[in-house]
A and B are shown apart, each in its own frame.
Chain A
């Protein structure tokens, strides 16, 4: 929200001048009119059409989950020894998608990257929706979801406590904390925007809803002072959290002795992968939002260009991580690890290993070219590839490591069932349904934050009198 004091452009070399963050003339008033128009007007027909599709997908998921509850976990394809499969793959996948939102809203905020302001709101919302999709999976994976509250340490008549040395319990705390913090961060940022929607709306019902949600926000300078401080603190806290959450998720694997899981590189490798997958999803959704909601002047090609650069750098980190896995397998001279690694390339699921490598490492390399970073075709291709590739990466980690570990007598082939696929499809449906509903009722761009970085938005020279 804060910006550096304006430096006259003539004093710095041209290459260092930051290009404009928007196209054309944007004033605080026009910004409100443009961004808030979509929630205030009747949605176009294509919005209903999209909602119908996503709701259908969500319904398939709900039916599949209901069938699982009715029949039991036997409805899934995972059996001894592959007890973790689609459910945990999807959990790790969706938690990862969420990370881009926190990265954009928190880490880039701390780094004073002003380009984040126009896309932070959307990315944060996607974080919340992705975490909602993610928590479904541990919940149904416990088999008896109506007893899932046993995971929480609370005094009970059985005089039993949970085991705090289990990484799975760390997960419970990490994901719950992550969800609470993301929700608070998102809501706090929304309050001033909801206040402006409250003062613009003419509908009586909307007025009541926005009044309650805005909590009587009136933009007093004394409030802004505390608000800014709270936002900064939350950004700092969320930064630590975003790095910790996926690290804790990776501990679920790394603290066990399954070959292919017992690796020290897992925490950073998981975090990088999460940011990678999340940014791809944000790019995909952002392109659609930019095209359909007439926000081309606010979400510019420069935003997409920077996002693509992040994807490219994360792709390189992923490439390094894969090579490290191979190197560890070779250098440790651990034959089980070696066998596990060879399985990724040549085993029964070798095709999944190759899908992962091509989608995550090879395809994103096209983004080295400036033209590819400016082309919808290539960036959508890369983003779709990365989403598929990162899903398969979790498949490779979980299924390949579990289906063949130490004892050949305990080796099995894993085959997912239609119920597995139904639940996966369902979470995509739930995610995009929530995205569509969000775009319908709340501003997709943080108008308050963009207003603060417009030219002339801040007093010149911090209120000194000697400006021209």
Chain B
């Protein structure tokens, strides 16, 4: 035969017929034997004398490489380049890297198994293979089993190959001519595709450019600061009074500052002064008295303060017998709630300052009404 052919294909009806034909066709030694089947057939690789797939080893190597890559990457980032202490653990604590190591291992192994099989071992994609343009390909992917004798050299005898295949039991024989060029991946096709992609990109770019020019102020996204939410110093429609910042609820008490219940002045009479009569407490009481009380009640508590003349009022003379007989609680009550023209001092004096003032007022009263026996106490 003078014409060059690529291969001769013989079609078989059953896998058994195919398997029985393989040794016979191989024995003819006319060319390379290859089988085409719609699904994987067991034992065919031994019958055809194919070498074992090296995929397992490839996947193992790449999997280990993936694990090492993930470990090295995470270690370098977390311990060397940008050390972060999380949960009090050392920067080089590696236990937390294991989940990502596992994932990257699987990722590397998967891509090796899948893409390695397709691209490296099976040399796909291959659109121009002669078998793809044969008449038999329709039956190969459907339900027929095809044995091919492929040409190894120019001296391939396609007629002899056809006879050998028929002798082995092939129901149909097809001679495949040598391939010309792939009708799919010609340079003309590639050029046209590249031109199309370029034009599409150019068009999309122009559309984007003019869209931004025409609608420059249209914000595509609102930022977080513009979301509906409460701002401390700004109005808000969320609360009925229209304020963003709300006053504490009536009766709110700060931690550790539970005030003494005062009630009426008569009820308060039973309260006892919780503070001891120490030098420090008297010092606090004197300071608080000077700041808040002296201006009206006077420096010795006799009701002659510096404001009295201008004010025209008549502040209580704390040295009077009436006030000397007052229990501590009544004085405390007056500080908290105010009395007559005197306003409440609750907002200005803390709990301990109030009681310290009570102590100091007692000291003033005693100093102004000292008895002889008081002197004995002072002189050792």
Contacts and interface: CB of A to CB of B under 8 A. Distances in A.
Contacts of B34: 220-222
B107 interface: yes
A460 interface: yes
Given A71-B227, A218-B137, A226-B53, A457 B117 contact: no
Contacts of B53: 225-226, 229
Interface string B27-56: 000000011111111111111101001011
B140 A219 contact: yes
Given A29-B143, A70-B222, A164-B77, A192 B39 contact: yes
Contacts of B40: 1-2, 224-225, 227-228, 452
Contacts of B106: 177, 181, 237, 240-241, 244
A83 interface: no
Most buried by B among A29, A162, A221, A238: A221
Nearest to B138: A199
Interface string A15-46: 00000000000011100100000000000000
Categorize the interface residue count of chain A. 35 or more
Interface in B196-239: 221-224, 226-229
Interface in A73-114: 73-74
A221 to B, nearest CB: 4
B169 to A, nearest CB: 13
A160 B77 CA distance: 9
B336 to A, nearest CB: 29
A369 to B, nearest CB: 38
Contact of B227 (A72, A215, A457): A72
A163 interface: yes
Contacts of B307: none
B244 interface: no
Contacts of B55: 226, 229-230, 233
A165 B78 contact: yes
Most buried by A among B73, B107, B111: B107
Given A248-B99, A251-B99, A456-B14, A72 B226 contact: yes
Contacts of B43: 459, 462-463
A292 to B, nearest CB: 25
Instruction: Tell me the dominant secondary structure on chain A's binding face.
Output: helix
A378 to B, nearest CB: 36
B242 interface: no
B311 interface: no
Given A449-B39, A452-B39, A32 B97 contact: no
Interface string A175-191: 01100110011011000
Contacts of A163: 78, 84, 86
Contacts of A177: 103-104, 106-107, 110
A411 interface: no
B59 interface: yes
A391 to B, nearest CB: 26
B140 A218 contact: yes
B81 interface: yes
Contact of B56 (A72, A180, A233, A467): A233
Contacts of A370: none
Interface string B73-114: 110011001101011010001001101101110110111011
Contact of B38 (A211, A219, A229, A244): A219
Interface in B140-164: 140-143
Contacts of A185: 110, 114
A87 to B, nearest CB: 16
A244 B111 contact: no
Nearest to B36: A219
Interface stretch (A166-174, A332-340, A358-366): A166-174
A222 B50 contact: yes
A331 interface: no
Contact of B110 (A180, A196, A227): A180
Contact of A451 (B44, B109, B143): B143
Contacts of A164: 74, 77-78, 96-97, 100
A286 interface: no
A195 interface: yes
B99 A173 contact: yes
Given A196-B141, A230-B113, A233-B56, A221 B36 contact: yes
A458 interface: yes
B11 to A, nearest CB: 13
A173 B55 CA distance: 25
Contacts of A226: 53, 55, 117, 121-122
A241 B99 CA distance: 11
A212 B193 CA distance: 14
A223 interface: yes
Given A72-B227, A233-B59, A241-B103, 14 more contacts: A165-B89, A180-B107, A180-B111, A200-B141, A211-B127, A215-B124, A216-B129, A216-B132, A218-B131, A218-B137, A223-B122, A225-B53, A237-B106, A248-B103
17 contacts: A70-B221, A73-B224, A164-B97, A169-B100, A173-B100, A177-B110, A181-B106, A188-B114, A199-B137, A216-B132, A222-B122, A224-B41, A226-B55, A230-B55, A244-B99, A457-B39, A459-B18
Interface of A: 1-2, 27-29, 32, 69-74, 143-144, 146, 153, 159-167, 169-170, 173-174, 176-177, 180-181, 184-185, 187-188, 192, 195-196, 198-200, 211-212, 215-230, 233-234, 237-238, 240-241, 244, 248, 251, 448-449, 451-452, 456-460, 462-463, 465, 467
Q: Which 6 A-B pairs have the closest CB atoms?
A: A28-B143, A196-B141, A230-B117, A215-B125, A72-B227, A221-B35
